[in-house]
Structure 1
């Protein structure tokens, strides 16, 4: 297949100063209830060129789908030619919303074998950054979407949802939820962070089960990493709050769609901080069953980006491998098990330009290629994301100055 590198449009208004600060200083930690993020809106239109967050997914038929947030609304479009051209956008939402514009928040979608699309995103309920996770679906190939509905009736804050579809076609959604905070406080107990909650849908997203707790006292404002193991069990990696207020990463493998297993620690970075890093992990599971995790930390034991693997179902992990150049603020790691091996990307900032850097592995993470730069921009940008159609792996990256990039990974193993 010929390599594709496509760029769409230029946003017209500057992104928020916060986005630039976070790009230059990924270790910045800001408290959940008092952080001073400004809106990241690039412009007031709902078109792709105005998007601040763009998320890709491939359908089983090879169709590439994009979901993005722009102009206070959620939109989707698809491509039949690997990102060279896109269909006319379809608006998922019909009114302007206070979309969750936090650094680790973004709309997400998953497509089942029949072409049904399950979609999730979050909004802010109030000025205190309490959120609400909304879900919707399309059963007509993305031509229309049902009105978005809350995934749970609980009125406490929910944010940072992750969505996926298991081999049987069941939709699985996990998110961070603060419903246990008030009961704990009412009983005089201290409550830190949030709870990792989940729900499932057996009817392509038309309805969801009651929310259930997988783990409590997690960090409340970092994205989740979600993957399915070889048996189709959900696996979630998240930033946890360990004893002493240490916000290191943990992982949980479900024994079935309704039963979370034990929580295991990914690494001991010793990042003791009473605030929110806004910098979550990435997870992929290879055909060999190996768990591969990348993350950011600013702990006492180590600082920067790191990679580790587990060959025993997440019970133990290898010694963390440093990723990127420490003097260039490496951030926003993403890892995927592609059709020919592992692909890892991340951002670096040299003081003037942000670059997307790449490493690959042909041997299930035992060794990695030398890092190389595959994309760059002179202004603010979204996180670099990876997606595969089963034949190639692609970089998806939204930039303010240069628009949207969808790029086949050259030299993939």
Structure 2
């Protein structure tokens, strides 16, 4: 959420059930400890550098830290705390620090904080130009003082950093003129200097759901694609994809699926998007709509204009949640979480034919306590699972080929 009332939160909790709430991730109070170290992290986000170095950004102890690994996550360098003071970091279920590393080794970082007790957020960014030894002073992504949250970062082939986020700046003008205002706006900006400065924020789409993470990828050089939970007529919060004409020009939106989830509350359960080398869009999402409920996958061969029939994921009795999909040269990998009443497991399936067929799901990791969302990252040759757990610490696991 960018701002959510208590009634909305309670309504959603009753709707989805306690077990699903456990699956949805951690709040700051559920951290293993209250220090800025990795073992205390609630969320961790990986990124590979051009030389194969693994970089990891995490939230813990009111700070965002960054460290690197030369041995595929078995050990990490001494972490650098990006802010030197404790911040009121955004601890929402869909919040985490975002990190990208360019070809010159420059590191762009962004995350959000809460500015008040009403969950109004602010997106902050910084950059390291010395290989992660230090970071520049934190700056807001936009000068506007209304709420911004759920930022996403992606790196173009030419080194341009593109960012999109959810923004509530237009709610005040709407109220002043007596117009109804729902949700938030999808805003964006880009950086030509590796994330040191960003162009002025611009509106891509008004009327989006205000409380779910975005999925962001490049469909082609200079053409970002964003998947988000849109508010359609009648208060239906289903997913949509927007492909930009160029780095500065938003495109039309196209509906991913008619799930008919009519809800006036915050799902806190965003989608995932990846674009394969073939140009196929692969998407995965959660819904609790009238037409379908649970986790689903679909693909598009025409830049998101139309999508395949949604394919259900996971076992319904185990509350499948938090899907993530990543396409590479060797195939497309998809992971999600399930809860059997005692353990949370990460399930995985792989497609070798660009989403036409998928392997039988299998468990690749599990834990008995709370955990972050499972993420996938690739160095161009190998795909890895990145998963922060409270009981077992950080896990970085190579995805092995399966028949």
When the two structures are superposed, what TM-score results if normalisation uses the length of structure 1?
0.91
Q: Which of 292, 296, 317 does residue 302 from structure 1 map onto?
A: 292
Q: Which residue of 2 aligns with 1:122?
A: 112
Q: State how far apart, in whole Å, the 2-side matches of 1:112 and 1:296 are.
A: 31
Q: Which residue of 2 aligns with 1:25?
A: 20
* C-alpha contact 1:26 1:330 (8 A) present in aligned 2: no
Q: Which residue of 2 aligns with 1:213?
A: 203
> What is the CA distance between 1:232 and its match in structure 2?
3.6
> What is the CA distance between 1:234 and its match in structure 2?
0.5
Q: Which of 316, 322, 326 does residue 306 from structure 2 map onto?
A: 316
CA 1:28–1:382: 2 relative to 1, 3 Å: closer
Q: State how far apart, in whole Å, the 2-side matches of 1:219 and 1:203 are.
A: 31
Q: Which residue of 2 aligns with 1:88?
A: 78
> What is the CA distance between 1:231 and its match in structure 2?
3.2
What stretches of structure 1 of length at least 5 have no aligned partner? 1-17, 30-36
Q: Which residue of 2 aligns with 1:4?
A: none
Q: State how far apart, in whole Å, the 1-side matches of 2:81 and 2:280 are.
A: 38
* C-alpha contact 1:27 1:298 (8 A) present in aligned 2: no
* Map 1:53-68 → 2, pairs under 5 A: 53-68=43-58
Q: Does 1:44 align with 2:39?
A: no
* C-alpha contact 2:184 2:206 (8 A) present in aligned 1: yes
* C-alpha contact 2:23 2:338 (8 A) present in aligned 1: no
CA 1:405–1:360: 2 relative to 1, 3 Å: same
Q: State how far apart, in whole Å, the 1-side matches of 2:276 and 2:69 are.
A: 27
Q: Which residue of 1 aligns with 2:394?
A: 404
> What is the CA distance between 1:151 and its match in structure 2?
0.5
* C-alpha contact 2:156 2:162 (8 A) present in aligned 1: yes
Q: State how far apart, in whole Å, the 1-side matches of 2:38 and 2:332 are.
A: 29
Q: Does 1:79 align with 2:69?
A: yes
Q: State how far apart, in whole Å, the 2-side matches of 1:137 and 1:173 are.
A: 14
Q: Which of 155, 160, 167 does residue 165 from structure 1 map onto?
A: 155
CA 1:387–1:223: 2 relative to 1, 3 Å: same
SS of structure 2 residue aligned to 1:255 = coil
Q: Which residue of 2 aligns with 1:387?
A: 377
Q: Does 1:148 align with 2:126?
A: no
Q: Which residue of 2 aligns with 1:331?
A: 321
> What is the CA distance between 1:363 and its match in structure 2?
0.2
Q: State how far apart, in whole Å, the 2-side matches of 1:225 and 1:341 are.
A: 19
> What is the CA distance between 1:160 and its match in structure 2?
0.3
Q: State how far apart, in whole Å, the 2-side matches of 1:181 and 1:392 are.
A: 44
SS of structure 2 residue aligned to 1:214 = strand
Q: Which residue of 2 aligns with 1:286?
A: 276
Q: State how far apart, in whole Å, the 2-side matches of 1:205 and 1:22 are.
A: 40
> What is the CA distance between 1:410 and its match in structure 2?
1.7
Q: State how far apart, in whole Å, the 2-side matches of 1:144 and 1:126 are.
A: 28
Q: Which residue of 1 aligns with 2:4?
A: none
Q: State how far apart, in whole Å, the 2-side matches of 1:112 and 1:264 are.
A: 30
Q: State how far apart, in whole Å, the 1-side matches of 2:300 and 2:124 are.
A: 33
Q: State how far apart, in whole Å, the 2-side matches of 1:362 and 1:176 are.
A: 34
More displaced stretch, 66-75 vs 224-233? 224-233
Q: Which residue of 1 aligns with 2:346?
A: 356
When the two structures are superposed, what TM-score results if normalisation uses the length of structure 2?
0.94
* C-alpha contact 1:355 1:373 (8 A) present in aligned 2: yes
Q: State how far apart, in whole Å, the 2-side matches of 1:378 and 1:22 are.
A: 19
CA 1:78–1:27: 2 relative to 1, 3 Å: closer
Q: Which residue of 2 aligns with 1:230?
A: 220
> What is the CA distance between 1:411 and its match in structure 2?
2.1
What are the superposed Cα offsets for residues 24-62 of structure 1, whole Å, 9 maximum, x if unpaired? 215999xxxxxxx76444321100000000000001111
What stretches of structure 2 of length at least 5 have no aligned partner? 1-12
Q: Which of 330, 333, 337 does residue 343 from structure 1 map onto?
A: 333
Aligned pairs, number: 388
CA 1:412–1:108: 2 relative to 1, 3 Å: farther
Q: Which of 227, 245, 250 does residue 255 from structure 1 map onto?
A: 245
Q: State how far apart, in whole Å, the 2-side matches of 1:312 and 1:256 are.
A: 17
SS of structure 2 residue aligned to 1:25 = helix
Q: Which residue of 1 aligns with 2:187?
A: 197
Q: State how far apart, in whole Å, the 1-side matches of 2:359 and 2:103 are.
A: 34
CA 1:68–1:412: 2 relative to 1, 3 Å: farther
Q: Which residue of 1 aligns with 2:366?
A: 376
